[in-house]
Every structure is written in structure tokens, then in C-alpha cells.
Amino acid sequence: MNNRVLLVDDEPDLNLTLKLTLEENGFGVDSFTDSLSALENFKANLYDLIILDIQMPGINGFELYRQIKKIDDKAKVCFLTASEMYYEQFRKELFPALDNNCYIQKPIENETLINRLNEILSAK
């Protein structure tokens, strides 16, 4: 069975590119460019992995993560960002228990991304 992924990134071009890359590699993908729409459509136990951009208008990725965890506390979540400055905040303040693999720096090569996601999904 294909792994189901929820992808939320407010950049339409990048969102589409990531969605197509994931689908070409066997993932089932629901993608949103708006974090509020993603939250409204989120259902517990539907996704194997959730990929969130951090910097988004309205609800940012960290807040969206908190809201999603209230609905599905077992959800595996990865953060995607082009900004270095979030990494320290991510590691020290917000998610010290979260795996380093779950922080993905943009830009990332497709093959590297797919390998990383497969590692995350295979980890228990």
C-alpha cells in the first residue's frame, strides 16, 4: 500500500513540484497551499507522514503542527524550510525530541528527499 502524505507549502510552484516528485515515487499525496484549508481537511489516521513548510501566512508550520497533534497525536510530521534561522528554534525550543531527519532544508534534491522520507517512514 502506498504511503499517504499531506503536503502543506504556500509556494504553489514548489508545492506542485514536490507533489509530483512524491507521486512519481509511489506516494499518495494531498497537497495544500493554505494552512487553514489543510487543517480544515485534516483527518486523523489518514496520513503516514505530514510535511509542513514553516513560514506560511496565517497559521505557520509550527502552529499547524500543534493543531494537527491535537487531532492526531500519532501523526509523523516533518518540517520543510528555506530558512536557517528556524533550525535552532526548532531544535532547542520547540521540538527537542523530534528526529533531526524531520527537519528538511530547502532546496533539497528529489532523490535525497525521497530517501529521507523513506527513512522516516520506516523508523518506528
Structure pTM? Answer: 0.88
Distances (CA, A) of 105 to 9, 43, 69, 87: 13, 27, 22, 9
Hey, what's the cell of 120? 522516516
Give the per-residue pLDDT at 115.
93
Question: Measuring CA to CA, which residue among 86, 83, 89 is closest to residue 107?
Answer: 83
Residue 101's pLDDT band (cuts 50, 70, 90):
low
Mean pLDDT check: name the lowest of 3-12, 41-50, 115-124.
115-124
**pLDDT one-digit tens code per residue, 29-68:** 999 999 999 999 999 999 999 999 988 999 999 899 999 9
Q: Do 25 and 35 touch, CB atoms closer than 8 A?
A: no
Q: Domains in the chain, start-ordered, CATH in brackets? A: 4-122 (3.40.50.2300)
pLDDT surpassing 60 at residue 73: yes
* Residue 67 or residue 87, greater confidence: 67
Distances (CA, A) of 81 to 3, 111, 123: 22, 17, 22
Distances (CA, A) of 12 to 17, 27, 34, 56, 65: 9, 19, 10, 12, 20
Give the per-residue pLDDT at 108.
86
Query: How high does pLDDT run on average in the chain?
Result: 87
